[in-house]
Amino acid sequence: MPFTYSVAEYADMIYVYSICDGNSVHAIAEYQQRFPNHRIPTQRVFTRIYQTLQDTGSLPGVCTAAERGVNEGVEEEEEEEEEDIVQMVQSSPCASTRRFARRLCVPHTRECRTLHAEGIYPYHVQ
């Protein structure tokens, strides 16, 4: 499922949500008043963005292929990503692999394939 909002729109939503002290109903009305030409997010969008920011330290959808410049130096980037994945999991084997994938801006499936290719199975006590 693609993310439908830009980073700037997410930033505006966080700003409005914080002004409204975390009240998503008031945030919708305030957002509509401040940004009449923008799409109006639902209550769920406001709460999900805030929760994602708290949990991961990043906004949802920030790491898209277009922003990362995937077409330039793909092989070098993949090797660097693989090294980063292995290094992060080895440094903290009990942490969530999905969180690592979000932090590194790689798909979770790529992370799992990389770890399995290296013989690392983070779900099993080693």
Tally of helices (H runs) and strands (E runs) in the chain: 7, 0
Each residue's pLDDT expressed in tens, for the chain with a length of 126 residues: 445 788 888 889 999 999 999 899 999 999 999 998 888 888 998 888 888 888 888 777 655 444 444 444 455 566 777 788 888 777 777 777 777 777 777 787 888 888 888 887 766 555
Dihedral angle, C-alpha 18, 20, 23, 29, nearest 10 ° = -120
Name the helix (H) or strand (E) containing 118.
Answer: none
**Residue among 26, 28, 47, 48 nearest 39 (CA):** 28
pTM of the predicted structure, to 2 decimals: 0.48
At 25 the pLDDT is 92
